[in-house]
Amino acid sequence: MGRGGATTFAMDMQHADAIMIMGSNMAECHPIAFRWVMQAKASGAKVIHIDPRFTRTSAMANIYSPVRAGSDIVYLGALVNYILHSPRWNSEQFFREYVVNYTNAATLIHPDYQGPEDLDGLFSGFDPNTKRYNTKTWSYQTEDAQPPVALADAQTFADLVAARIPGQPKQDRTLQDPHTVLQLLKRHYARYTPEMVEQICGTPRETFLKVAEALLENSGPDKTSAICYAVGWTQHTSGVQLIRTATLVQLLLGNIGRPGGGILALRGHATIQGSTDIATLYNLHPGYLNTPSVQRQHDTLKDYIATEVTPTAFWSNFPKFIVSQLKAWYGDAATPENQFGYDWLPKITGDHSHMPMFVEMSKGTVKGMFALGQNPAVGGQHAGFQRQALAKLDWLVVRDLFETETASFWKDSPEVKSGELNGRSYGFGDWAKPNKASKRPLTQASLRCTRWLKPSSLQRIPTPLKRCWMSHLQALSTIPDPRGNPSSLYLA
């Protein structure tokens, strides 16, 4: 957690007995997913909306709880504290069995660990000179580890994983030891009371208690509650802490990994979910597997697994994930003798994320761009720089439902209006013609963003670019031309 990675999926909301939506106006911003929330409500589920604004999501909710913008972390912390001290949580056997068997609640932390309640807001290990933490005291107490196995001596991928397993963490399954995760959690969240919520969040005490009881009552051996969030959480400076605290709530209530439970991260319109599921991010393969890199120890498949594997918990299955994926891609050609085709995978050479890409674009290294479901001309940091970089492209294709600022920056951006960049005049169906008065002329293809092109005009487009356009936009070929030509393609 800590980013937009969900533990469940939208359709599963229909099985929930309670759904808490926070950091999202789900009804308006995710209406397709919201249908499953409404289906759950029709089946008797309680819908809770916690938001600074009363929106259409609030209107559909059984409980609306106002909250001051930016104070979500206090609200969630108070939910943790309320659950830990509620009579039902402490008497219902289900909750105890869940946290002992499926969480690290019983695990013992280093005896020298101290928290903010001990050190006036700091954690143990803080160095005032470097302003950094030494996290040694945050670790588990463990049994002695097995002697490590050298990489060269590992006969199987399982050996690689086993060689990296640390000593077994020590536990107190009675949960009474003061160094257990659960007891440290109780101490840390003790300050988060309904009164603090009322004071900091501006939420009436009675409303908060109503929310807490609704979640608790609708969680247990025969009921589950779900939490939905969006950028109303992730865009906070405390976004990671918000999502982790929500995870604590759901783990304490036994809602993770069960039908109708879990945490649903509501993603964006440009298949942000798909960016991780089908790997449109440069640094991830499907399933959150890191892309091989020339900058890391990824020379062979064995090196790659040894570098990337987490030897404990579910990620200890990493070798199975990568091998099964290579087999899915390369079929019978993927064999143990050729490392299942690992050498055929391209390796990244550095940071190819959004802003570094635009730096390279401004240098002229990146020649062309497909903007699919994004709007960099206004949608990111230092938008002026990004528009200047777009102007350096040899070609740009923008595919969206409407003409975005990225599609029209060449004619109406602030830089064009100020004269820093000048657009060009051009005729319908033709390549743009240069404006000799331009201080910094835009490249021809970068102007060919949003125009109706006659089929005859496609002959003048470079073949690789035309092939990409056609493959991405064939579905748009039946959209009526504003000029009455039904066979035109709308390339935007």
Q: How far is CA 448 from the centre of its chain?
A: 33
Residue 158 counted as domain residue = no
Pair 371, 487 in one domain: yes
Pair 340, 361 in one domain: no
* DSSP-assigned states of every residue in 104-133: STTBBB-TT---TTTBTTB-TTEETTTTEE
* pLDDT given at position 177: 97
* pLDDT given at position 207: 98
Q: How far is CA 181 from the centre of its chain?
A: 26
Task: Select from 265, 300, 330 the last residue of a domain.
Answer: 265
Distance CA 94, CA 426 (A): 71
* pLDDT given at position 455: 46
Pair 376, 465 in one domain: yes
Report the first-to-last Cα separation within the chain, whole angstroms: 36
Pair 313, 444 in one domain: no
Residue 114 counted as domain residue = no
- Total residue count of the chain as it appears in this document: 492
**CATH code, 83:** 3.40.228.10
Residues with Cβ within 8 Å of 456's Cβ and at least 6 positions away in sequence, in order, are 429
Task: Select from 303, 318, 344 the last residue of a domain.
Answer: 344
Residue 248 counted as domain residue = yes
Residue 175 counted as domain residue = no
Pair 414, 460 in one domain: yes
Residue 161 counted as domain residue = no
* pLDDT given at position 144: 84
Residue type, 484: G
Residue 172 counted as domain residue = no
Pair 285, 245 in one domain: no
Distance CA 404, CA 392 (A): 19
28 exposure class (CB count in 10 Å sphere: 0-12, 13-18, 19+):
exposed
Tokens of 481: 């031309």
* Cβ contact 52:58 at 8 Å: no
Task: Report the greatest alpha carbon distance in the chain.
Answer: 81
Residue 133 counted as domain residue = no
Please, which contacts does 145-153 make with residues 24 or more away whose CB atoms are closer than 8 Å? 151/302, 151/303, 151/306
Pair 362, 459 in one domain: yes
Q: Which string of b and e fits 163-197 if b means at least 16 CB within 10 Å?
A: bbeeeebbbbeebebebbbbbbbbebbeebbbebb
Mean pLDDT, 10 residues at a time, the chain of 492 residues: 65 97 95 96 98 97 97 97 97 97 96 94 95 95 78 77 83 96 97 97 98 98 96 88 95 96 81 68 88 96 93 88 96 96 95 93 94 88 93 92 92 90 45 42 41 44 54 48 43 36
Please, which contacts does 51-60 make with residues 24 or more away whose CB atoms are closer than 8 Å? 51/21, 51/22, 51/23, 51/24, 51/25, 51/232, 53/25, 55/25, 55/27, 55/28, 56/25, 56/27, 56/28, 57/21, 57/24, 57/25, 57/26, 57/27, 57/28, 59/27, 60/27, 60/34
* pLDDT given at position 358: 96
Pair 397, 255 in one domain: no
Domain count, the chain: 3
CA angle centred on 244, ends 179 and 280, rounded to 5°: 135
Pair 260, 276 in one domain: no
Residue 410 counted as domain residue = yes
Pair 44, 59 in one domain: yes
Distance CA 299, CA 345 (A): 11
Could you tell me the residue range of the domain that residue 99 belongs to?
10-106+182-265
* Matching residue, tokens 């990409």: 468
For the whole model, what pTM was predicted? Answer: 0.72
Pair 201, 54 in one domain: yes
* pLDDT given at position 270: 55
Which ranges of 235-376 would DSSP assign to H, the alpha helix? 239-252, 272-277, 301-308, 318-330, 354-363
Ramachandran area for residue 125 (φ above 0: left; ψ -120 to 50: alpha; else beta):
left
Pair 247, 288 in one domain: no
